[in-house]
Amino acid sequence: MRRYPEPIQPGCGAGIYKMEKDMQKKHSGLINNEDGFVLGGAILISAILILAGVLALWTSTTEVQVVRNEGLMIREFYDAEAGIIDALVNYNNGSTDWLTNDFLIVGPTQAHNIVTSNDENGQPISEIQVRCIREDYSDDDSAIAADLSVAANTLPQQSHISPPPAGSGYSLRYFEIRRYGITGKSNDGNTTIQVGAWKVFNRF
């Protein structure tokens, strides 16, 4: 027997079509919904700006510390250098009077002195340690000058007494020079400068 499809009830197709349209609209609303996107973007941008600010602050702080430390090092160098110059010029007067009678009488092996260089306000800026340069150093020298620093006790080996240098204008017959090592240490103790100096004496 031939069978025929059952007739569609009036209104059923329209109901199915409406249901599909409602589902599409609902899904389309979920997919295209941008609610909350602006908030998320704002949080991300804020986080980036905060991170950039923290990095800029850290970089600035580091640069300030570097400049400050460099300034301190330069100041300490100038303090030690100024002390050396003070000791060279004012070797027998003022706060850097190191070439005393006792210094000369005791002899080059044991002769050493420690003085202080002051600024124009009378504040100490560097410590000056002086010792005779000699060519006969021994291990006992450090014990003799135990109050001196390692740098002041480590001097080049040269003859303490020699004829005046050529071209100095001093007669080899009547004059002689004596060599000294002058070590200047900044008041903070972080910078040390050492120079060699000679002074002319009458020959006895």
Q: Domain for residue 1, yes or no?
A: no
Neighbours of 116 (CB within 10 A): 15
Please check whether residue 175 is in contact with residue 164, taking contact to mean a CB–CB distance below 8 angstroms. Answer: yes
Q: Is the pTM of this model over 0.85?
A: no
Please say whether the dihedral angle defined by the alpha carbons of residues 175, 159, 182 and 71, taken in this order, is positive or negative.
positive
Give the domain range for residue 194.
75-202
Domain count, the chain: 1
Q: Domain for residue 25, yes or no?
A: no
Q: Domain for residue 31, yes or no?
A: no
Q: Domain for residue 114, yes or no?
A: yes
Residue 39, CA distances (Å) to 6, 44, 47, 50 in order: 56, 9, 12, 16
Neighbours of 80 (CB within 10 A): 26
Q: Domain for residue 180, yes or no?
A: yes
Q: Domain for residue 50, yes or no?
A: no
Full pLDDT tens readout for the chain, 204 residues: 555 455 545 545 455 545 555 555 555 555 555 555 667 778 888 888 888 888 888 888 888 888 888 888 999 999 999 999 999 999 999 899 999 999 999 988 889 999 999 999 999 999 999 999 998 877 666 667 788 998 898 888 999 999 999 999 999 999 999 999 999 999 888 899 999 999 999 987
